[in-house]
Amino acid sequence: MSHTNNPLSNTQRKLRKLKTQPLLFVKDSQAYLKTIKTAYATWARFGSFLLILLTSLLVVVYYSLIASPRYVSQAIFVVEQANGQEVTLGGLASLGATSPSSKDAYIIIAFIESRELAERLDTKLQLQKHYALTEWDWFSRLIQNATAEEYLAYYQAHTTLSYDERAGILTLEVQTFSPDYSQQIAQQILVESEAFINQLGVKMVNNQMNYAKLEVSRAHATFLQQQTALVLFQDTNKLFNPEQQSGALVQVINQLESSLVILESELKILLSFMQKNASEVVTKQNNINALKAQLLEEQARLTTDDASSLNKINSAFQEVKLNTELALQLYKNALVGLESTRVEAYQKLKHLLIIQSAKVAQEASYPKRLYSIFTWFVSLLIMYLLAKLIMAIIKEHAE
């Protein structure tokens, strides 16, 4: 009996393959091949853009669900001198010049941003520990065991200061992860800043006062020295005031000369009608001789080559007296200068005037979620377009 082999149809072969090798059946199908080809073409054209979309989705998830909120406490203050006056520069001096109030403001800004204040805040309020708590998200918090430089950079990034030069107003903003803690840090910064600016003022005042007091002490010592020299001169020469003594001696000499002139006139009258040996003439002549002797003696006391003469003593006395009076005047001026320095130093003292004290934030100011999402998406899109442009240029040149 002959037996004939009937060949299988195309449909039967496919059904048989589906039963025995279903995976190979699908891979060999035209639909699968077209799907794979379309997928490859789509990925080649839009795959990189899908990465942009995926990254944007991750950004949305982070800012919507993960990012830790940060609260801002704001304080507004100014730095003022005690007298409330400011020197205004005119003309060319005002071009590019910095006013005293601006200098004070920039000094305060430098202090608030300094490592010294950051370390004080950490010592008193454990600020670094707060920044590094693990309950905040990884991207927002400070890394554990951060170095001093890393902590300072993080602190400066979360503590901002703005200065209005026209009004001289400083605005402080402190960011932390707790509204109460932000207020506490802002208040402590104001306390430390006021202590710092007062310390600078007090140090300057003390330096000026110490110099003024030193000048007073020096002038007083000089005056006492000159006064001692004056008393010693008076004791040595047995004269309280040689100037007055000289004046009195001049008056005596003048009186003697006047009396001598009178006696000589009377003697001439007597000689006109009497003999030289007459008793009255002799008496008158004796009186004249006595006055002349007295006059020469008094004149010798007033002016001679001897160092003990009254005119030389008076000259030396005038020098000692002048030095004493000059030392006294310098001492008086030093006392006046001390008082003036005291007043001026007080007027130069600076104070921190609080316009708005730090308040507790009612809602989180950072991160700005919608703004950040939009910024990230735009940035990624720009980078994508730039990359596509660069690839197209490279491909064009390669061809």
What is the chain's length?
A: 399
Cα dist. 81→93, 165, 351 in Å?
22, 16, 6
Contact (CB, 8 A) for 132 and 143: yes
Beta bridge partners of 366: 70
User: So where are the chain's domains?
Assistant: 8-66+367-399, 67-88+96-204+351-362, 212-347
Tokens 């240029």 found at:
393
User: In this structure, which amino acid lies at residue 189?
Assistant: I
Beta bridge partners of 78: 353
Which H or E run contains 9? none
pLDDT-based confidence at 361, cuts 50/70/90?
Answer: very high
What pLDDT is recorded for position 228? Answer: 84
Tokens 């910064």 found at:
189
Compute the distance between CA of residue 257 and CA of residue 295 in angstroms, rounded to an integer: 7
What pLDDT is recorded for position 89? Answer: 38
DSSP string of 297-313, one letter each residue: HHHHHHS-SSTTSHHHH
Q: Tell me: pLDDT of 311 over 70.
A: no
What percent of the residues of the chain are helix, what percent strand, and what percent coil, each to the nearest 5? 70, 10, 20
Identify the residue with better confidence: 332 or 7: 332
- Give the side-chain half-sphere CA count within 13 A for 5: 2
Contact (CB, 8 A) for 300 and 256: no
Report which listed range, 166-175, 199-208, 223-232, 389-398, is most confident: 166-175
Which H or E run contains 26? helix 22-27
Average pLDDT over residues 158-165: 92
Count Cβ atoms below 10 Å from residue 271 Cβ, excluding itself: 14
Compute the distance between CA of residue 293 and CA of residue 316 in angstroms, rounded to an integer: 28
DSSP string of 195-260, one letter each residue: HHHHHHHHHHHHHHHHHHHHHHHHHHHHHHHHHHHHHHHHHHHT-S-HHHHHHHHHHHHHHHHHHH
Contact (CB, 8 A) for 329 and 277: no
Average pLDDT over residues 323-341: 85
Bond into 367 cis (ω within 30) = yes
Q: What tens digit of pLDDT does each residue of 17-56 get?
A: 556 666 665 556 666 666 666 655 555 555 566 777 788 8
Identify the residue with better confidence: 318 or 147: 147
What pLDDT is recorded for position 186? Answer: 96
Give this prediction's pTM.
0.59
Give the relative orientation of helices 242-271 and 310-347 as an angle to the nearest 10 degrees.
150
Which architecture, in CATH terms, is 67-88+96-204+351-362?
A: 2-Layer Sandwich (3.30)
What pLDDT is recorded for position 96? Answer: 46
Of 10-14, 149-153, 331-335, the range with the lowest mean pLDDT is: 10-14
Beta bridge partners of 175: 72
